[in-house]
Structure 1
Amino acid sequence: MAVIAAFILNAGLNFVLGLLIAWLLGPEAFGIFALAAAGAVVLNTLLFEWLRLSATRFYSGRVRLEEPWIRHGLDRAYAGVALALFAAAIVGALCALTIDPGSGGLAALATGAGLAALGTGLFDYHAALARARFDGGLYFRLVAVKNALAVILMAGTAWALPQPIWVLIAAGAAQGLAVIAMRGPLSDPAAPVLRVRLTETWRLFLAYGLPLIAANAIYGLMPFVNRAVLAGQSGFAEAGYFALAADITSRALGTIGTALDLLLFQLAVRAEEHEGRAAAETQIGRNAALVFALMLPCAAGFWAVLPALQALAVPEAYRGPFALYAGLLIPGLFCLALLNFALNPVFQIRRKTAPVIAAALAGLAANGLGLVILPGLVGPPGVAMAQTLGLSVATLALALRALTGPERVAMPWRDLAAATLGCAAMTLALWPFRGLDPAAALAICLPLGVLVYGVFAWSLDIAGLRRLLAARIGRNPSVRADRA
């Protein structure tokens, strides 16, 4: 539960921090910041994601004690990539000072993006190690320190030096400093380094992680390209409107999925360690149903309160475009959550991750086709529609691969149908209240949505939620929570 609490804290503070940075920088500067931040995400994915994914797949509490070469391989690979990126950032800084002077130049922004990617990669890797050890307390402390530093450094920098490059550097510094502060508890017991084992582990990590890196880089490339296209066609202010809507919506929809994934995938890994591959795939099917059952009402509920959220929380300069873009992005970002937390784990547990690339390429092609056609028909909102189209196509392609054929994953279709029915009932119940005064709409929609969907989830035991809750509160101790 500490892992879930830590993630909810992280998501909530990131939500507030994103709004605060947008307000302090203004639409145009925030548009530039968001474009550079999207580039940092792509860079982090290309360079470091294979290490984070390998940590979640191959590292555990048992491995920490019995196979120390796994951690040695992870640490040394990370150090090598990080040093190369830091050297590239130094070169970029020198170019910014000599060839392209000024904090707003391309070289300066590239340097800031590189340093932000470096800090993010360092933090994500060590957070993955803590989760893989099922050390919820350590994970919570790491996230809490990072968030405290992020609020102080990023908000303070945006207020004192309202330039995108300095906010990017502050973002990377906050994450890197959090890891340094927690380096003692994050370390493993001392053990001799076996050189021959290092080569074996690096090959294992690359074979497992490279396809996932390619796919995740494509999903990171989509918003980067879309924001760049929007900035080129309509200016950085329009890109800023789009970026804030995309960032807030993705955090709102990703909170539940990521919080669940922090534990659920590790449960599948542990099931494979103790009971074999068949038990792991069974757990993956249960996990996917649980993700769907909680993500779908989250997406519908976010749509229901979108007008109220815009009026109460979004800076005035962004209102209007925020609700328009967010409404168009919700279906695609819901699909992305299903990709990351329900479908990708099928291939991760099998160590056959190549199919995710084909799905990502299909999505990228659909996104590109949408960019060619839709903005000309409907204007700037066509960019958001193109992104939703691309993510929807990618999800459909991977779902067909995972759920059909001789190796298809057994899915609890009854639970998926029941979740869809409950979510439809919740949406119909909330629809009349969207036009109310914002405060009244939030006050009514949030408890009403939980009540309506909760009745369906409890009465139909959607994805085992009733059994899970009963086990947690002690009414049915025989039910194991880790099998929900």
Structure 2
Amino acid sequence: MAVIAAFVINAGLNFVLGLLIAKLLGPADFGRFALATTGAIVLNTVLFEWLRLSATRFYSGRVRVDEPWIRHGLDRAYLRIGLLLLAAAALCGAFGFAGGADGREAVLCGTGLAALGIGVFDYHAALARARFDGKLYLGLVAVKNVLSFALMAAAAWWLPQPAWVLAAAGLSQLLAVLLLRHPLRDPHTPFERPRLSATWRVFARYGLPLIAANTAYQCLAFVNRGAIASHAGFAEAGYFALAADVTARAMTTLGTALDLLLFQLAVQAEEQSGRAAAEAQVAANAGTVFALLAPCAVGFWAVLPALQGLVVPDAYRGPFETYSTVLMPGLFCLSMMFYALNPVFQIRRRTLPVVAAALVGLAVNGAGLLILPDRMGGIGVALAQTAGLAAAGLWLGWRALTGAERIVLPWGEIGVAALACAAMGLALAPFRHLPPATALAVLVPAGTALYGALVWIFDIAGLRRQVLARLRPARTLAAEQGSRPQAGAFAAAPHRKPAR
């Protein structure tokens, strides 16, 4: 649970930091910063994501002791790619900052440093999660957040150019890993060079299709922000960027937090009981993900006017709510792909369908960009993005849920969760346009209480059972769980060493 708590705290602080940076930079510079940040994420995805994904799939507490060449291969791949990226960023900086931090080369330098920091931090955070070391993960996230808040806010205040804020973002994440480098290390073992190439091939076969898909989605966001900038200017791109970033966090924060634990449980189930047990765990995880993400989406829609009135900077109000409403369905589809459908193919180590789904999304988004912006302006770009992500989700769902190897989801639990979300939305709708502070005071507790009561009454996705299991004595828990897949984020992770 420390892993989930740390991630939620991290996401909340990033949300506050994003609003602060937007206020300090202003819409135009924030539009440039957001575009460069998206570029940094794309760069990180292309260069490092295949290794981070391999860490979550192949590294564990057992592997840390029994198969040290896995960590050796990860470390050396990160070192080589990181040095190349650092050299490229330094070259851009030599040409850029000498002529002023507002130049293109300076922004490219900052983008490279941000990508390097994100990649190194995410890798070490993944290692801590794979070891189920919640204390270490919590410490890593806490140090990173303190440094990010201090360095990025200071850069935006004293040196209000996107390049400096990007460089501060990368530096803060690198420093967090450096400060905690000792607990992040594995026991010293001899390096087996003959295993290195074979280990990298395993990582590439597993991870490259996934990063191709992730890169496609990041490129989709990058292209859409560029399309708005070209049609309506950087200020409009800033409006779109803030709405997209906040809505994406609302849709993905809890999903990512759940995935940090749930996918590792599926990997652990495979180590202990085989592929069938792992797929059963993935199916149970999907029910849990839907039962927790769907009410988050409905709740975000309900509080959106109040959120705009209370925390969104004045310059962004109006466009923020409009863009967020249009983007929300597509981003929910993206979240379900990432946290409910992608794990089906990850656990099978056959990840090419994930790439195909991303290409479907890009094609539909591209077709929308050819038609909608000229007729509808920036909202047309948002509609194109939503259509593309929905098409990708439908295609990937069709691949996962049909055919000889189709996975069987807990449809009854998913259906009950959907009905509970609809009931919550209908109950909250009349209160959406109260004064912002009053609306939040009414909507948040009312929505939580209503959905929580429905979860408790109908045991949606087994969440009531999981809560009760956590509260009962260990003997009762062991007797009741037996061999049943762990259905939720509240399930205790087994700690025994698997048979070899």
TM-score by length of 1: 0.98
Structure 1 CA distance for aligned equivalents of residues 138 and 419 of structure 2: 35
**CA offset at residue 473 of structure 1?**
2.0
Instruction: Provide the C-alpha distance between the structure 2 equivalents of 1:378 and 1:118, rounded to a whole number of angstroms.
Output: 37
The whole-number CA distance in structure 2 between the counterparts of 1:7 and 1:482 is: 21
Native 8 Å contact 1:468 1:479 kept in 2: no
Q: Read off the aligned partner of 1:34 and give its amino acid letter.
A: A
Post-superposition shift, 1:204? 0.2
Which structure 1 residue ranges, 4+ long, deviate > 6 Å from structure 2?
A: none
Task: Name the structure 2 match of 1:403.
Answer: 401
1:334 maps to which of 328, 332, 335? 332
Matches within 5 A, 1:465-484: 465-474=463-472, 477=477, 478-480=479-481, 482-484=486-488
Greater Cα shift, 358-367 or 450-459: 450-459
Matching of residue 459 in structure 1 with residue 457 in structure 2: yes
Q: How does 1:95-106 map to 2 (within 5 A)?
A: 95-96=95-96, 101-106=99-104
Mapping for residues 81-100 of structure 1, pairs under 5 Å: 81-96=81-96
Aligned to 2:165: 167
Work out whether residues 281 and 486 of structure 2, in 8 Å CA contact, stay in contact via their aligned partners in 1. no
Equivalent in the alignment of 1:79: 79
Contact 1:19–1:314 (CA under 8 A) maintained in structure 2: yes
Q: Distance in 2 between matches of 1:396 and 1:202?
A: 32
Tell me the alpha carbon deviations over residues 127-174 of structure 1, each in whole angstroms, 9 at most, x when there is no partner.
000000000000000000000000000011101100000000000011
- Whether 1:6 and 2:6 are equivalent positions in the alignment is yes
1:389 alignment counterpart:
387
CA distance, structure 2, for counterparts of residue 391 and residue 397 of structure 1: 10
**1:77-476 correspondence runs (5 A):** 77-96=77-96, 101-474=99-472
Q: Distance in 1 between matches of 2:239 and 2:102?
A: 20
| Further displaced range: 368-377 or 153-162 | 368-377
Let me know the Cα RMSD of the aligned residues: 1.1
What does residue 20 of structure 2 align with?
Answer: 20
Q: Mind listing any 5+ residue stretches in structure 1 that lack a counterpart?
A: none
What is the distance in 1 between the residues matched to 2:380 and 2:411? 34
- What amino acid maps onto 2:55 in structure 1? A
Amino acid at match of 2:230: G
Q: Could you tell me which amino acid in structure 1 is paired with residue 294 of structure 2?
A: L
C-alpha distance after superposition, 1:54-97 (max 9, x if no partner):
00000000000000000000000000100111111122122325
* Runs (5+) with no aligned partner, structure 2: 489-500
Q: Distance in 2 between matches of 1:404 and 1:454?
A: 32
Q: How many angstroms apart in 2 are the aligned matches of 1:383 and 1:107?
A: 28
1:351 maps to amino acid = R
Contact 2:31 2:234 in 1 (8 A): yes
Q: Paired residue for 1:50?
A: 50
Separation in structure 2 between the aligned mates of residue 160 and residue 110 of structure 1, nearest angstrom: 20
Letter in 1 for 2:25: L
Give the residue type in structure 1 aligned to 2:246. Answer: I
Contact 1:374-1:383 within 8 A present in 2 as well: yes
Distance in structure 2 (CA, Å) of the matches to 1:437 and 1:262: 37
Query: Is contact 2:29-2:162 (8 Å) kept?
Result: yes
- The offset of 1:479, in angstroms, is 4.3
Q: Contact 1:36–1:113 at 8 Å: present in 2 too? A: yes
Corresponding letter in the other structure for 1:10 = N
Deviation at 1:332, TM superposition (A): 0.9
Q: 1:308 touches 1:442 (CA, 8 Å); kept in 2?
A: yes
- State the alpha-carbon separation in 2 of the partners of residues 313 and 15 from structure 1: 10
Q: 1:19 to 1:277 in 2, by over 3 A?
A: same
Deviation of the 1:483 alpha carbon: 4.2
- Secondary structure of the structure 1 residue equivalent to 2:18: helix
- Matched with 1:64 is 64
Preserved contact between residue 126 and residue 179 of structure 1 (Cα < 8 Å): yes
SS in 1 for 2:38: helix
1:202-251 deviation line (CA, Å, top 9, x unaligned):
00000100000100000111111111111111111100011011111111
CA contact (8 A) 2:96 2:103 kept: yes
Verify the 8 A CA contact 1:299 1:334 in the aligned structure 2.
yes
Question: How far is 1:451 from its partner?
Answer: 1.6
How many residues were matched structurally? 482
Cα separation, 2, equivalents of 1:181 and 1:482: 35
Aligned to 2:496: none
Q: Give the aligned residue type for 1:78.
A: Y
How far apart, in 1, do the equivalents of 2:369 and 2:457 lie? 44
Q: Which moved more, 1:331-340 or 1:101-110?
A: 101-110
* Structure 1 residues 22 and 416: CA distance shift in structure 2, 3 A: same
More off after superposition, 353-362 vs 378-387? 378-387
Equivalent position of 2:492 in the other structure: none
The residue identity in structure 1 corresponding to 2:50 is W
Secondary structure, aligned partner of 1:103 = coil
Matched residue type, 2:298 = A
Question: How many Å separate the matches in 2 of 1:97 and 1:74?
Answer: 33
Residues in 2 aligned to 1:2 and 1:282: alpha-carbon distance in whole angstroms: 25
User: 2:247 corresponds to which letter in structure 1?
Assistant: T
Q: Give aligned-pair identity as a percent.
A: 64
Q: Take 2:109 and 2:155, find their aligned partners in 1: how far apart are those partners?
A: 17
Give the conservation status (yes or no) of the 8 Å contact 2:11–2:249. yes
Distance 1:323 1:406, change over 3 A: same
**How far did 1:23 drift?**
0.5
Kept in 2, the 8 Å contact 1:50–1:205? The answer is yes
Rounded to whole Å, the distance in 2 between the matches of 1:358 and 1:31 is 30
CA distance in 1, matches of 2:93, 2:202: 35
Distance 1:157 1:269 in 2: 41
